[in-house]
Amino acid sequence: MQTMFDIAVGRCESIDNKTVTIELDSAVVSRLVPGHPWRTSGTSRLKLDIGLCSQRRPPAVGAETFLQREALLKNPTASLDLLGDGNYAPVRLKTLGTDTEPEVVGPASKTTWGDRPRSRWSKNG
């Protein structure tokens, strides 16, 4: 089952015509370039078509940018400035949307304080 949701990728740096430039979170960089050494969030930048951005949470300069997972799974391209030095290279975005299905978690335990085992450090135990 595929669920529709948006994926946060980093802070919007600028919006120009139909392009958005995003200062990427380090976790997003590691998905785009597996094995690349960790860098501080915001060092790497991604330029992409504004149509990939969330319609529920449109991009705004200075705010977190959300991308549509469904659009990412279609494997669009964007431009990645990995080192933050202005040298952009093409990159495929499908890896940002794959393996992102939310995990369904069962109900929380209903154990009460009275049902818990006593600590070996308690005075009464």
CA atoms of 73 and 89, how far apart (whole Å)? 20
Q: Give the rounded percent of residues in the chain with a pLDDT score beyond 70.
A: 75
Query: What's the number of domains the chain is made of?
Result: 1
Q: Which domain holds residue 76?
A: 6-97
Give residue 103's pLDDT.
58
Examine residue 87 and state whether it is found in any structural domain, yes or no.
yes
Output b/e per residue, 63-93; b: 16+ Cβ within 10 A: eebbbbbebbeeebebebbbeeeeeeeebeb
Examine residue 108 and state whether it is found in any structural domain, yes or no.
no
Q: Tens of pLDDT along 43-80?
A: 899 999 999 999 999 999 999 999 999 999 999 999 99
Residues facing residue 7 across a β-bridge: 67
Examine residue 120 and state whether it is found in any structural domain, yes or no.
no
Pick 35 or 38 by higher pLDDT: 35
Q: DSSP for 17-71, please give it.
A: TTEEEEEE-HHHHHHHSTTPPP--TTSSEEEEEGGGB-SSS---TTSEEEEEHHH
CA atoms of 16 and 21, how far apart (whole Å)? 8
Whether pLDDT at 87 is above 60: yes
Whole-structure pTM value: 0.74
